[in-house]
């Protein structure tokens, strides 16, 4: 049984013991665990899909929106993609032991700065079973132990996936307690996990502002928020309009229930009359509910656009809904994005290099796109193999949280008898 039946503190203590063993294992052993897990995913695909189907049929998932059900659902292709992610991480360079700096001090001591694991990483996440595999893969390769607390919606799926990874660890001769899946629980259990001082080295919550605020109120362990993505696409006056239509639709529609999907479309007033009728029609045909400001609604031709409320500009919909606004200038667009965005992913569509550079310099976000969809903010797309989440913070990591973001460093000083006078 992969779901921990011990207390939260006992599970975290077991993870810490496993982490201390992992810190010294070879790259080959870690890669062997990833390869074994990938093979087991393929061999037990039917079991995984059966568990996922039971989760989807459970009454707890009955009230989920179509976009959230899509996040929960697994297919043969998605299970295969998990295996590909494991093998991609196995092929990446091992960050542990990487020399960051080296110099000889005036004392003659050789000082080396090397990359080391964090220790125990805890992740709280929503109903996306693939996160179980992504997190496990990244922590194994970076020699960290992992404590998972998934959504009750995905309890069966997560249980099977965690069991597979633990089996892969055992096959490679690594401690199974390197990956632990906690049973569900309410806010009290979340608070208990967030206060495991001395056992949990980093907590990463993947969720909306509600989860973020709940943890801020109680957490005593270090927290790195993989938080909300209120992402924007801004179409500048000098944009290629056909390109703008493709990017706007892709950023919203390609997978609306994820944090890098666009929630707001901003159009420069200079091109609004030419672009808006077409792009609004494109979005509506794709099933997107539209809300907009007064100028947008006046320019909508044969397309229903509801009146946007002040709250709409700050909302991460995570579904087929988008807020659309007209702005009078590049500066107005930058100001809007910085006021309402969450620092995740922002895009500008423009043929002007100057405008692009002003947007890049002026917008405060982890990822800025020039003439590309926001949907690319992803560890796999960035060549990291996978990600534990996307950090909207500035310390100690920002953007996709990959292998190197799950490490810290230590100084190693080698001498030949030096003492300080």
| pLDDT value of position 209 | 76
Average pLDDT (154-164) is 97
pLDDT value at 286 more than 70: yes
| CA dist., res. 259 & res. 272, Å (int) | 27
Grade residue 74 by pLDDT with cuts at 50, 70 and 90.
very high
Instruction: Yes or no: say if 148 and 125 are a contact pair by the CB < 8 Å rule.
Output: yes
| CA dist., res. 89 & res. 3, Å (int) | 25
pLDDT tens for each residue of 13-50: 999 999 999 999 999 999 999 999 999 999 999 999 99
Two tokens at 360?
């890049």
Domain with CATH 3.40.605.10 in the chain: 3-226+388-414
With the CA atoms of 229, 230, 235 and 241 taken in that order, what torsion angle do they form, in degrees rounded to the nearest 10? 70
Spell out the residues 6+ positions from residue 306 whose beta carbon is closer than 8 angstroms to its own.
289, 290, 291, 292
pLDDT tens for each residue of 317-365: 999 999 999 999 999 999 999 999 999 999 999 999 999 999 999 999 9
Instruction: Yes or no: say if 254 and 278 are a contact pair by the CB < 8 Å rule.
Output: no
Grade residue 1 by pLDDT with cuts at 50, 70 and 90.
very low
CATH of segment(s) 3-226+388-414: 3.40.605.10
* Preceding amide of 396 cis, omega within 30: yes
Residues pairing with 182 in the sheet:
4
| pLDDT value of position 5 | 54
Instruction: Yes or no: say if 226 and 216 are a contact pair by the CB < 8 Å rule.
Output: no
Grade residue 143 by pLDDT with cuts at 50, 70 and 90.
very high
Q: Domain 231-376 in CATH: superfamily? A: Aldehyde Dehydrogenase; Chain A, domain 2 (3.40.309.10)
| CA dist., res. 32 & res. 28, Å (int) | 6
pLDDT tens for each residue of 239-254: 999 999 999 999 999 9
Across 103-121, b (16+ Cβ under 10 Å) vs e yields eeeeeeeeeeebbbbbbbb
Q: Is 8 exposed, middle or buried (0-12, 13-18, 19+ CB in 10 A)?
A: buried
């Amino acid at each position: 049984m992969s779901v921990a039946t011990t207390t939260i503190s006992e599970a975290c203590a077991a993870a810490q013991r496993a982490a201390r063993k992992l810190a010294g294992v070879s790259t080959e052993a870690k890669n062997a665990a990833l390869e074994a897990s990938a093979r087991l995913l393929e061999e037990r695909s039917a079991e995984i899909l059966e568990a996922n189907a039971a989760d989807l049929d459970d009454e707890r998932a009955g009230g989920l929106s179509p976009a959230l059900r899509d996040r929960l659902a697994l297919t043969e292709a998605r299970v295969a993609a998990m295996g590909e992610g494991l093998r991609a991480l196995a092929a990446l360079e091992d960050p542990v032991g990487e020399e960051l700096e080296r110099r000889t001090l005036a004392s003659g001591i050789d000082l080396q700065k090397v990359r080391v694991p964090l220790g125990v990483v805890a992740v709280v996440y929503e109903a996306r079973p693939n996160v179980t595999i992504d997190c496990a893969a990244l922590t194994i390769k970076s020699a960290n132990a992992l404590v998972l607390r998934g959504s009750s919606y995905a309890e069966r799926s997560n249980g099977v996936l965690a069991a597979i990874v633990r089996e892969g660890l055992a096959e490679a001769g690594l401690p199974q307690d390197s990956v632990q899946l906690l049973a569900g629980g309410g806010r009290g259990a979340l608070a208990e996990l967030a206060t495991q001082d001395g056992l949990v080295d980093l907590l990463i919550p993947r969720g909306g502002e509600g989860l973020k605020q709940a943890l801020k109120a109680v957490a005593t362990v270090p927290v790195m928020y993989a938080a909300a993505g209120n992402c924007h696409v801004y179409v500048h006056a000098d944009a290629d309009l056909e390109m703008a239509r493709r990017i706007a639709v892709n950023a919203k529609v390609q997978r609306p229930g994820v944090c890098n999907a666009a929630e707001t479309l901003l159009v420069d007033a200079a091109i609004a009359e030419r672009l808006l009728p077409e792009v609004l029609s494109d979005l509506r045909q794709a099933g997107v509910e539209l809300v907009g400001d007064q100028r947008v609604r006046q320019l909508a031709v044969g397309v229903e656009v509801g009146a946007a409320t002040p709250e709409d500009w700050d909302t991460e919909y995570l579904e087929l809904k988008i807020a659309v606004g007209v702005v009078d200038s590049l500066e107005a667009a930058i100001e809007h994005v910085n006021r309402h965005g969450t620092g995740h992913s922002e895009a500008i569509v423009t043929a002007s290099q100057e405008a692009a550079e002003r947007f890049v310099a002026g917008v405060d976000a982890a990822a800025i796109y020039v003439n590309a969809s926001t949907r690319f903010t992803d560890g796999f797309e960035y060549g990291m193999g996978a990600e534990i989440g996307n950090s909207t913070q500035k310390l100690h990591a920002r953007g996709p949280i990959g292998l190197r973001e799950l490490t810290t460093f230590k100084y190693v000083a080698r001498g030949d008898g030096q003492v300080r006078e």
